[in-house]
Chain A
Amino acid sequence: MRVLVVEDEAKIANALRQGLEGEHYDVVVARTGEDGFFRASAEVFDLIVLDVMLPGRSGIEILRALRQKGSPTPVLLLTARDAVDDRVLGLDGGADDYLVKPFAFPELLARIRALLRRGRPDQALRLQVGPLEMDLVTRRVSRGDRELHLTTREYEILQYLMRHHGHLVSREMLAQDVWKETARATPLDNVIDVHIARLRKKVDPDARAPLIHTVRGVGFVLKEGAP
Chain B
Amino acid sequence: MSLLRPISVRTRLALWYGLAVGIALIVYAGVVYAFFRASMLEQLDGRLHDDYEAAEHAFERAADGGLRWTSDYHDPDATTVEAPWVEVSRSGGPVLLRKPAASDRRDAPFRTRVYTHRLGDEEFVLRVGRSERGVERELRELLLIFALCLLPAVVFAYLGGRVLAQRALAPIGAMTERARTITAERLAERVSVENPRDELGQLAIVLNDMISRLERSFDQLRRFTADASHELRTPLTAIRAVGEVGLGERHDEAGYREVVGSMLEEVDRLSRLVDGLLTLSRGDSGHLKLDRRPVDVVGLAREVTAHLGVLAEEKRQSLTVEPQEPIFVDADALVLRQAITNLVDNAIKYGPEGSAVNVAVTATREEATIAVTDQGPGISDEHRERIFERFYRVDPARARGGVGLGLAIAKAAVEANGGRIEVRSEVGGHSTFRIILPRSSAKV
Contacts and interface: CB of A to CB of B under 8 A. Distances in A.
B307 A183 contact: no
A84 B289 contact: yes
Given A190-B311, A191-B311, A195-B310, A185 B272 contact: yes
A85 B103 CA distance: 105
Interface in B305-319: 307-308, 310-311, 313-314
Interface in B221-276: 257-258, 260-265, 267-268, 271-272, 274-276
Contact of A187 (B262, B267, B278, B341): B341
B428 interface: no
A215 B268 CA distance: 13
B271, B289, B342 — most chain A CB neighbours (10 Å): B271
Contacts of B307: 179, 188, 191
A101 to B, nearest CB: 10
B341 A217 contact: no
Nearest to A214: B261
B314 A194 contact: yes
Interface residues of A, number: 20
Interface in A185-225: 185-188, 190-191, 194-195, 198, 215-218
Given A82-B278, A84-B289, A187 B264 contact: no
B334 interface: yes
Contact of B275 (A185, A215, A217): A185
Contacts of B345: 187, 190
B391 to A, nearest CB: 14
Contacts of A102: 267, 271, 274
A185 B405 contact: yes
Contacts of A194: 310-311, 313-314
Contacts of B192: none
B338 interface: yes
Interface string A6-24: 0000000000000000000
Interface string B328-361: 0000001000100110010000000000000000
A191 B307 CA distance: 7
A84 B334 CA distance: 15
Interface string A70-110: 00000000000010100000000000000000100000000
Interface in B84-103: none
A79 B240 CA distance: 27
Given A102-B271, A185-B272, A185-B279, A215 B261 contact: yes
Contact of A185 (B264, B310, B338): B338
Interface string A175-189: 000010011111110
Given A190-B311, A191-B311, A194-B310, A217 B263 contact: yes
A216 B338 contact: no
Interface in A92-151: 102
Contacts of B405: 185
A185 B261 contact: no
Contacts of A216: 257-258, 261-262, 264-265
Contact of B260 (A82, A183, A190, A217): A217
A217 B261 contact: yes
B308 A191 contact: yes
Nearest to B306: A153
Contacts of B310: 191, 194-195, 198
B317 to A, nearest CB: 13
Interface of B: 257-258, 260-265, 267-268, 271-272, 274-276, 278-279, 289, 307-308, 310-311, 313-314, 334, 338, 341-342, 345, 401-402, 405-406, 409
30 contacts: A82-B275, A84-B289, A102-B267, A102-B271, A179-B307, A183-B334, A183-B338, A184-B275, A185-B272, A185-B275, A185-B279, A186-B338, A186-B342, A187-B342, A187-B406, A188-B307, A190-B401, A191-B307, A191-B310, A194-B310, A194-B313, A215-B261, A216-B257, A216-B258, A216-B262, A217-B260, A217-B261, A217-B263, A217-B264, A218-B261
Given A186-B341, A191-B307, 9 more contacts: A183-B334, A185-B272, A185-B279, A185-B338, A187-B341, A190-B401, A191-B308, A216-B257, A217-B267
Interface of A: 82, 84, 102, 179, 182-188, 190-191, 194-195, 198, 215-218
